[in-house]
Amino acid sequence: MRHLLILILFLVSTTISAQEEDRFQKANQLYNQEQYQQAIATYKTILDSGKESAALYYNLANAYYKQSNIGPSIYYYEKALQLAPDDEDIQNNLAFAKNSTIDKIEVMPQGFIAKSIDKVTSIFSIDGWAWVSVSGVIFFVVLFLLYFIAASSVKKRLFFIGSWVFLGVALIAVIFAYQQYTYQKNNKFAIVFTQEANVKSEPNLRSEAIFQLHEGTKLQVTDTVNNWKKIKLADGKIGWIPSADIKEL
């Protein structure tokens, strides 16, 4: 009975995956036929089913960009980049879409060490670093076993050194994965979705508007009060914006 249940669950999951793949291909066909709104609707049905992938977010972003919807296009390029941070196509299209935004925000300079660490950490996603760590552990175990089996002292030395090198790689990958996890947990970002948004000095409509933001601008969310979000820009500016004007990544 247990084996039958497992088989049924496997067949159901396989059928669902096949259906999602069919929807994805249908959406791609609609995109190629320049039926962008229908393609967007089809891509979103896949997201609504709980499935996500870098390719899905990337194609959805492309469809939005073709309709000159800069905010949603940047939002979904960013979502794709979270899953595939080293993908050059995503990086290039995101940069191209950002060139269409009105707000040109100067990024505050970052120290050399912090910048280097961020650059290395962003090579892989959290899942990517997890796979590197698992692979490192596997190689460590294999080489350590070969160390005990090897007859010559030269081979023993090589296997011993190699095993600890891979263990070090695994530990470093765990550290980078944890650093990415804590960064994403403690740093919430969002994209402006409205064409023009007034940023206030306090979380209420009566407070002074201190500056404006426009569709597609990326910002950091640092606090929430009722229907307001406290935000911080890359240049250090802070303020409050209505929650409805942005969409969190």
Residue 123: pLDDT band by 50, 70, 90 thresholds? confident
CA distance 180 to 94: 21
16: pLDDT strictly greater than 60: no
61-103 tens-digit pLDDT: 999 999 999 999 999 999 999 888 888 999 999 999 999 999 8
Q: What is the mean pLDDT of residues 23-43?
A: 93
Q: Which residue has the tokens 């508007």?
A: 209
Instruction: Give the residue with greater pLDDT, 86 vs 2.
Output: 86
pLDDT confidence of residue 127:
81
Residue closest to 89 by CA, chosen among 51, 62, 116, 122: 62
**Cβ proximity of 243 and 227 under 8 Å:** yes
